Amino acid sequence: MAAVSPAFRRRLQNVVPQVSAAVRPVLIKSADELVALMKRLCPVEDGDLRDSIGWAWGDAPRGAVVIDKLSGRGRGRDRIVIYAGNAKAYYARWVEFGTRKSKAHPFFFPAYRALKRRIRSRISRATRKALREIGSG
């Protein structure tokens, strides 16, 4: 078995926190952009549904429908949850997918599909940049 130097071990232990610190602002920017597009695409009657769309670190608020989770690959601690709905706007999924009597007015998944590639690229770019800086420093 190969011997690993203590300096190399210390360097490896610093990789996760440094990459996490580099990716966090990218996750925030992407979540803000995705939520803004969802709010623009959302049909508005009284504004409750539009106002219930948001994002949070970790888990969504109680009563909300989770739309998407933004995180790096693997089991990272940095995870943003995109959600819609609350006690007033409990009908978020009915608007998105429709019911037997009303047609669907999708706003979650069209927004997600429109931005998915950009978000993944941003996260990958930030991760690669952080790893390059760690490797050179």
Q: What is the 3-state secondary structure (H, E, C) of 53-90?
A: CEEEECCCCCCCEEEEEEECCCCCCCEEEEEECCCCCC
Give the pLDDT band of residue 89 (cuts 50, 70, 90).
Answer: confident
Instruction: Please give the residue range of the domain that contains residue 79.
Output: 17-136
Residue 6 lies in a domain: no
Residue 62 lies in a domain: yes
Residue 10 lies in a domain: no
Residue 27 lies in a domain: yes
What lies within 8 Å, CB to CB, of 128 at 6+ separation is: none
Give dist(CA 97, CA 107) in Å, integer: 9
Residues 12-30 have pLDDT tens digits of 777 888 888 899 999 999 9
What lies within 8 Å, CB to CB, of 56 at 6+ separation is: 80, 81, 83
Residue 51 lies in a domain: yes
pTM: 0.80
Paired tokens of 81: 């949850």
Vertex 109, ends 50 and 105: CA angle to 5°? 60
* Contact between residue 49 and residue 91 where contact means Cβ atoms under 8 Å apart: yes
Structural domain total, the chain: 1
Residue 2 lies in a domain: no
Residues 50-63 have pLDDT tens digits of 999 999 888 777 77
Whether the pLDDT of residue 100 is over 70: the answer is yes
> CA separation (Å) from 16 to 28, 69, 88?
18, 20, 40
Residue 7 lies in a domain: no
